[in-house]
Amino acid sequence: MSLRKSVALVVGATAVVAGGVSIGAVQKPTLSSGQPAAHRPAPLAALKTPEGTEPLFRGDMVPDLGLGCSNGSGTSGGPNDWATRVTPTLPATPSWGVTSTTYNIFSFNSGPTWNLMAWNNTPTIPGSVIATCPLGAGSGTNGNHTIAVPAGCVTIPGASGPTWFFGLSQGTDLVGVRIGMDSNGTITPNTVFIRAPGCGLANFGTVESIGFPGNWVHRILVENNAPVELMDFEIS
């Protein structure tokens, strides 16, 4: 059974949540999007890029809707994982380090268990985990977040290759959640992924394959972890 058919069965067996209004009885989690315009989160402010770092993101960083596996009240549907494929231009020797992350939680509170993630690249989906970095209490509340990442918490070795994935994970949190999505920009196929076992996506699948093409409102800043040359005084 294809990924698309599996998700369609799950959605058909429950109900779709559109515009924040549940259509029918939504007792089981379903992949859902949208919210009344009055509750639409504000666009993210202009983001500064410190010298020596590179911002990695796709889209315009404005949340047009939210997407995630959730029941109507947001009490179940997790855990969800959201991933974006990127290729930095900064040199990869010996590694990249993430210094900060900015993202939007469109609706529902998830609690303090959010993790910033990095995964190895495969030809089709995010692969093995490279790094997991807990973002701390309050990182799962509604709205926009910009969080400094401790040095060494997310390090991607150059040997991992020029392309890899970054994203968010709920860890073991079972609350339903929607992450902000930019749905009106340029979409690169096979780039933006979601994993949501509660909605039939036991493995990562592209957002376009389930009928919600878009880009996650999520950005990271990376720097090149170049080795520091040891210096000493000399007298001649």
Task: Give the model confidence (pLDDT) of 125-153 as tens digits.
Answer: 999 999 999 998 888 888 999 999 999 99
Say how many domains are in the chain: 1
Question: What 3-state DSSP class applies to 31?
Answer: strand
What's 66's DSSP letter? Answer: E
Dig out the tokens for 94 from the structure.
């010996």
170 inside domain? yes
Torsions phi, psi for 105 (to 5 deg): -100, 115
91 inside domain? yes
Distance CA 81, CA 197 (A): 10
- CA-closest candidate to residue 104, choices 40, 16, 158: 40
95 inside domain? yes
Peptide bond before 79: cis, by omega within 30 degrees of 0? yes
pLDDT tens-digit readout, 198-225: 999 999 999 999 999 999 999 999 998 7
Sequence-ordered list of residues with C-beta below 8 angstroms from that of 231, at least 6 positions apart, any chain:
none
30 inside domain? yes
97 inside domain? yes
Contact present, 67 and 211 (Cβ < 8 Å): no
17 inside domain? yes
The confidence band for 188, taking pLDDT boundaries of 50, 70 and 90, is very high
In the predicted structure, residue 191 carries a pLDDT above the cut 80:
yes
| Domain extent at residue 214 | 3-36+50-224
Contact present, 139 and 114 (Cβ < 8 Å): yes
